[in-house]
Amino acid sequence: MPDDAGSLRGRAAAAACLWLAFATCTFAQPPLPSPIDPPSAPEFLPRAAFQLSAAVLSIDDPRFTWDTHFGGELDIVDYVVGRVNVVADYEAMLGNEFRLFDPNQSLYTLEASASGRAAETEIAGVFHHESRHLSDRPKRQAIAWNAVGVRVLRRLHVSSTTFDVQAGIGRVVQHAFVDYGWTSNLDIAIRRPVTPRVAVFVHGSGELFGIDSSVSARNTQKEGRAEAGLRITGPAAAAELFAGFERRIDADALDRQAQRWTLVGFRLVSR
């Protein structure tokens, strides 16, 4: 009986990996707070995490050759039954239209959330802001949106494999230039150690954007990213090498056109 249960868990983990590798490709998602185990007592500034990443893009469009991120998240206070978290991320998109490395646009993400825990599930109220800016190009109008919503987070362990699952939905309460009315997202990260310092991972994220019909007649838009890679952990930080696929709506800040690309990159993250 234990062998049957272990085999069933193994098949479930394999099925989830395959689902991530293929299904989520149809749906990008900004950085999210990580699901964590609660502390035994309330703590102030108990955890901080950062990421620095760069990926080369394979697409026949000179506006999109590199995608870079720098940012992180911080738990301001963890009160055991929940926590207050903030996320900040700067994304720079590079092309090669005018020079070899031409940073043509950037996207700023700022988010604050407060959560409560029910058993192993965390439920958070979220305020989310994104704004887009052009580099070395004229732009006079603001391009930004604010959303208020709810997010559910859960960390699952199947043998030595870890599943971090998040899902959220929000209403866009203010927007400039964009036509978004609401958003929903799903994010799943699967990690399995190979040695004490090396692990493999699969990560998929997808987001739906409902459209404000008073602004445009577009249908609901969908974007997403799927990647798989290797994580090597050092004493103070970890390095990830990954490859994947992304579909991004409104990839250029002004033209409201979706783009697809494959990607290969690296990411430096705190432990």
Structural domains of the chain ordered from first start = 2-270 (2.40.160.40)
pLDDT attached to residue 236: 92
* Percentage of the chain modeled with pLDDT above 90: 82
Residue 30 pLDDT class (50, 70, 90 cuts): low
In this model, does residue 5 exceed pLDDT 70? no
pLDDT attached to residue 36: 86
Q: What is the maximum span of the chain, computed from C-alpha positions, in angstroms?
A: 67
Q: How far is CA 18 from CA 28, 227, 243, in A?
A: 19, 12, 15
> Region 198-204: what's the mean pLDDT?
97
> Region 199-226: what's the mean pLDDT?
96
Contacts of 14 (CB under 8 A, 6+ apart): none
Question: Which tokens belong to 156?
Answer: 């699952």
